[in-house]
Chain A
Amino acid sequence: MATTELHAPGATSKSRPVKNGKPLTAGRVALYVTLTVVSLLMVVPFVWMVLTSLKTPVEIASQDAGLLPEHWEFGNYVDALKAAPFATYARNSFIIAFSHTLINVVVASMAGYSLARIKFRGSEVIFYLFIAALMIPTYTKVLPEFLIVRFMPLAGGNDVFGQGGSGWLDSWWALIVPGAVTPFAVFLFRQFYLDLPVELEEAARLDGLGEFRIYARIMTPQVKPAITTVALLTFESSWNNFLWPLLVTRTDSLRVIQVGLSVFKTENGPQWHFLMAGTTLATLPMVILFLIGQRYFVQGFATAGLK
Chain B
Amino acid sequence: MGATSVLKARPAPPSAPAGRTVTKKRSGRAPTGPGRRRQRAGMLMVAPALLHASLWIGLPVVASVVLAFTKYDVLTAPQFVGLDNFRDMLDDAVFRKSIVNTVIYTFFTVPFGMALGLLVALALHTGLKARGIFRTAVFIPQVTATVAIALVWLWIYNPGNGLLNTLLSFLGIDGPAWLSSTSWAMPSVILVGIWQGIGMKMLIYLAALQSLPKELYEAASVDGASKVRQFFSITLPLLKPATFFVLITSMISAFQSFDQIYILTDGGPGNSTTMMTFEIYKSAFREFRVGYASAQSLVLFVLLMGFTLVNRRIMGGTRGNN
A binds B: yes
Give a binary string over A264-283; 1 marks a CB under 8 Å from any B CB, 0 the rest.
Answer: 01000010100110010011
B7 touches A187 (CB 8 A): yes
Expressed in whole angstroms, the Cα–Cα distance for A113 and B284 within the complex equals 39
Expressed in whole angstroms, the Cα–Cα distance for A233 and B127 within the complex equals 28
Number of A-B residue pairs having CB atoms within 8 Å of each other in the complex: 391
Given contacts A39-B133, A305-B245, A123 and B46 within 8 Å (CB-CB): yes
B290 touches A147 (CB 8 A): yes
Give a binary string over B96-136; 1 marks a CB under 8 Å from any A CB, 0 the rest.
Answer: 00000000000000000000100110011111110111111
Given contacts A139-B297, A195-B20, A4 and B203 within 8 Å (CB-CB): no
A9 at interface, CB cutoff 8 A? yes
B253 at interface, CB cutoff 8 A? yes
Expressed in whole angstroms, the Cα–Cα distance for A135 and B7 within the complex equals 6
Interface positions, chain A 1-31, Cβ under 8 Å from B, are 1, 3-4, 6-10, 13, 15-20, 28, 31
> Shortest CB–CB separation between residue A171 and chain B, in angstroms?
16
Give the residues in chain A near B249, CB-CB below 8 Å.
305-306
Interface positions, chain A 110-125, Cβ under 8 Å from B, are 110-111, 113-115, 117-123
Give the residues in chain B near A126, CB-CB below 8 Å.
46, 50
B15 touches A4 (CB 8 A): yes
A251 at interface, CB cutoff 8 A? no
A183 touches B57 (CB 8 A): yes
Give the residues in chain B near A186, CB-CB below 8 Å.
49
Give the residues in chain B near A160, CB-CB below 8 Å.
none
Interface positions, chain A 248-307, Cβ under 8 Å from B, are 258, 261-262, 265, 270, 272, 275-276, 279, 282-283, 286-287, 289-291, 294, 297-298, 301-307
Tell me whether chain B's interface is mostly helix, strand or loop, or mixed: helix
Residue ID in chain A nearest B166 by CB atoms: A67
A307 touches B211 (CB 8 A): no
Expressed in whole angstroms, the Cα–Cα distance for A114 and B41 within the complex equals 8
Expressed in whole angstroms, the Cα–Cα distance for A305 and B67 within the complex equals 31
B149 touches A45 (CB 8 A): yes
Give the residues in chain B near A134, CB-CB below 8 Å.
4-5, 7-9
Expressed in whole angstroms, the Cα–Cα distance for A216 and B142 within the complex equals 33
B95 at interface, CB cutoff 8 A? no
> Shortest CB–CB separation between residue B178 and chain A, in angstroms?
14
Give the residues in chain A near B13, CB-CB below 8 Å.
4, 302
B83 at interface, CB cutoff 8 A? no
B23 touches A197 (CB 8 A): yes
A227 at interface, CB cutoff 8 A? no
Interface positions, chain A 35-69, Cβ under 8 Å from B, are 35-36, 38-39, 41-46, 48-49, 52, 60-63, 65, 67
> Shortest CB–CB separation between residue B155 and chain A, in angstroms?
6
> Shortest CB–CB separation between residue A71 and chain B, in angstroms?
18
A70 at interface, CB cutoff 8 A? no
A183 touches B308 (CB 8 A): no
B59 touches A307 (CB 8 A): no
Expressed in whole angstroms, the Cα–Cα distance for A61 and B158 within the complex equals 11
Tell me whether chain A's interface is mostly helix, strand or loop, or mixed: helix
Expressed in whole angstroms, the Cα–Cα distance for A9 and B158 within the complex equals 36
Give a binary string over B2-43; 1 marks a CB under 8 Å from any A CB, 0 the rest.
Answer: 111111111111011100101100111000000001111111
Residue ID in chain B nearest A287 by CB atoms: B140
Interface positions, chain A 162-220, Cβ under 8 Å from B, are 177-187, 191, 194-195, 197-198, 201, 210-212, 215
Interface positions, chain B 271-303, Cβ under 8 Å from A, are 276-277, 280-281, 284-285, 290, 293-294, 297-298, 300-301
A117 touches B284 (CB 8 A): no
B188 at interface, CB cutoff 8 A? no
A130 at interface, CB cutoff 8 A? yes
Expressed in whole angstroms, the Cα–Cα distance for A147 and B211 within the complex equals 46
Expressed in whole angstroms, the Cα–Cα distance for A264 and B53 within the complex equals 34
B140 touches A48 (CB 8 A): no
B127 touches A20 (CB 8 A): yes
Give the residues in chain A near B22, CB-CB below 8 Å.
194-195
A286 touches B7 (CB 8 A): no
Given contacts A144-B64, A242-B147, A301-B142, A35 and B152 within 8 Å (CB-CB): no
* Minimum-distance CB pairs A-B, first 8: A9-B132, A118-B42, A211-B41, A111-B49, A144-B60, A137-B5, A240-B145, A144-B63
19 A-B pairs, CB-CB below 8 angstroms?
A7-B210, A10-B132, A16-B125, A31-B128, A45-B163, A107-B48, A122-B43, A137-B304, A148-B60, A179-B2, A181-B52, A183-B57, A184-B7, A212-B41, A261-B147, A262-B147, A286-B145, A294-B136, A307-B253
Give me 7 other A-B pairs in contact (C-beta within 8 A), A113-B45, A187-B9 excluded.
A16-B125, A60-B161, A126-B50, A137-B300, A144-B61, A283-B144, A286-B144
